[in-house]
Amino acid sequence: MSTDENETAEDSSANPRTESVDVVVVGAGTSGCYAAATIANAGYDVAVVERKSAEEAGHIACGDALKGADAFPDAIPKSQIEPAFTNTEVDHGRFEIPQEDTVLDIPVPGELAVIDRWEYGRLIIEGADEAGAEFHYDTVVQDVTQDDDGVVTGIRAKHDGDVVEYDADIVIDGAGALSLLQDKVDFSDATFDTNVSYSQFCSAYREVVEVPEPVEWSDALVFKPADVAAGYVWYFPRTETEINAGLGFQMTEEPMKLVDDLKKDLRARPEFEGAEVVDKLGAALPTRRPYDSATAPGYMAVGDAAAHVNPTTGGGIAGAAYAGAYAGEQAIVALEDDDVSEETLWRYNQRVMDHFGGRYASLDVYNILSTAVDVDDLMGLIASLPGENLAEALYSGTTSFSPALLLQTAVSSYGHWGQIWNFFKVKRLADELMAHYDRYPTRPSALAGWQDERDRIMDEIYEVTGADPKY
């Protein structure tokens, strides 16, 4: 680098360009766009900082399955995103269990669709832009700024080699799983959940594949177990001939060779003979309970950055949309009151837990169970359970799995009685946990006491499942 270039770099760092806005949102994903649109619709200045280019923004690794397609926040109208819905005929899950030579059809409650995730990403960006949000592409966040009282006051980023500082009353972190921002913020005076580890996440990879002939299962989401505990393979049909094929594993387990293992599985399926890969992408995603608290003074985390994902399926689009909307609405309250304290932002946590957070936390119990059970035993258990009750457990967090039904299932499932009884005990603890989340505290000062009781229930779960503590 020449002397002139050195001087220019030093000047840029010493005299950064400053952008002043009411709210800065980091990340142009689902949660970020819905937060930005909500705030912009109320007339406030909001900047969305996105590390990707305008052309690549919205291109995110995803399974493309959307549960809850009938209900989305109004900040970006559903009509805005409907052109990305490529298959609305899917209505059930197809669980393939090679170990048991069984295919289990599982009804999926609620409206279901498979989408073109990149097109959807473009459309939500367009919707937030039309609401009045300003997008800053090719901008990489490097730091978070806080005042002497610990209040987050903005971010520091780089754009085209130049340092840009964003001064904002509120920062909304939609930067995805294991967000860099959370490494930069001092949360010592906040309730923000810092009990987060890479081992609570899943590593995943997916390809979009064109096949020569229509698949027979174009009305189903296809799942099958991988060869490791807490590993899975999926085939989600965007259309009859365009399939989102992917796999992932919990990071507590022996790593899979994601690309090679997917190719191996594709080669073993005759419907993929002559297939062409048209897109490929990998990512980490949270397969853990939602953050106990996703707030700090002047700061809220949304979507994957706060683990707003169903830990048993990886589905997170609808939850991220609502989390973004709830964060945006609470940001508006804080701006109107000129008060960005955690007490004011706390209502955002409550709404997330009331809507889906408690349910996702109870579903995490089944994810914990899967890490402690032999793959063959787990598949035997799943094959022995009635599909409707299994669907309720995996999607709703609870099921009417009565002792009578347990006995009826056991009679027809000789060889899996121990696993079935264990599942029933785990299910009762998952229900107890969800009931406790219904009592999520109304103020930050009550969080510690609530966590003590939640952790007591978790200790029972670890004891029953034999799993290593996850948190």
Q: What is the CATH number of domain 3-86+117-197+288-357?
A: 3.50.50.60
Calpha distance 251→287 (Å, rounded): 10
Per-domain boundaries in the chain: 3-86+117-197+288-357, 91-110+199-286, 359-465
Q: Which of 94-108, 114-128, 402-416 has the lowest mean pLDDT?
A: 402-416
Q: What is the DSSP letter of 180?
A: T
Read off the pLDDT band of 389 (50, 70, 90): low
Q: What is the mean pLDDT of residues 129-152?
A: 98
Global pTM value: 0.90
Evaluate if residue 382 carries a pLDDT over 70.
no
E strands present in 161-269: 162-173, 201-210, 220-225, 231-237, 242-250
83 Cβ contact list (under 8 Å, min separation 6): 119, 123
Evaluate if residue 131 carries a pLDDT over 90.
yes
Q: What is the mean pLDDT of residues 55-62?
A: 94
Query: Does residue 171 contact residue 27 with C-beta atoms inside 8 Å?
Result: no
Position of tokens 């080699």?
161
Position of tokens 């387990």?
253
Kind and range of the H or E element at 266? Answer: helix 258-267
How much is the mean pLDDT over the chain? 89
Evaluate if residue 56 carries a pLDDT over 60.
yes
3-state DSSP call for residue 31? helix
Q: What is the pLDDT of residue 7?
A: 45
pLDDT digits (tens, 9 = 90+) for 290-310: 999 999 999 999 999 999 999
Query: Does residue 285 contact residue 303 with C-beta atoms inside 8 Å?
Result: no
Q: Give me the helices (H) in 22-151, please.
A: 30-41, 78-81, 117-131
- DSSP secondary structure string, 393-440? HHHHS-----HHHHHHHHHT-TT-HHHHHHHHHHHHHHHHHHHHHTT-
Q: Which of 1-10, 103-112, 413-422 has the lowest mean pLDDT?
A: 1-10
Calpha distance 228→10 (Å, rounded): 50
Query: Does residue 307 contact residue 286 with C-beta atoms inside 8 Å?
Result: yes
pLDDT digits (tens, 9 = 90+) for 75-118: 999 999 999 999 999 999 898 988 777 888 888 877 889 999 99
Question: Which of 200, 230, 217 is closest to 379 using CA atoms?
Answer: 230
Q: What is the pLDDT of residue 3?
A: 44
Q: What is the pLDDT of residue 296?
A: 98
Q: What is the pLDDT of residue 67?
A: 86
Q: What is the pLDDT of residue 99?
A: 74
19 Cβ contact list (under 8 Å, min separation 6): 47, 136, 164, 165, 166, 167
Evaluate if residue 205 carries a pLDDT over 90.
yes
C-alpha pair distances (Å), 252 with each of 204, 313, 382, 455: 13, 17, 22, 20
Alpha carbon 80 to its chain's center:
22
Which CATH entry fits the domain spanning 91-110+199-286: 3.90.79.10, 3.40.50.300, 3.30.9.10, 3.40.50.720? 3.30.9.10
| Torsions phi, psi for 147 (to 5 deg) | -90, 180
Q: What is the pLDDT of residue 390?
A: 60
The angle at the Cα of 293, spanning 19 to 308, to the nearest 5 degrees, equals 85
Evaluate if residue 8 carries a pLDDT over 50.
no
Q: What is the pLDDT of residue 233?
A: 93
Instruction: Give me the count of residues in the chain.
Output: 471
Kind and range of the H or E element at 50? Answer: none
Identify the top-confidence range among 63-67, 93-97, 114-118, 426-430. Answer: 114-118
C-alpha pair distances (Å), 68 with each of 42, 106, 318: 26, 16, 6
198 Cβ contact list (under 8 Å, min separation 6): 178, 251, 284
Q: What is the pLDDT of residue 375?
A: 66
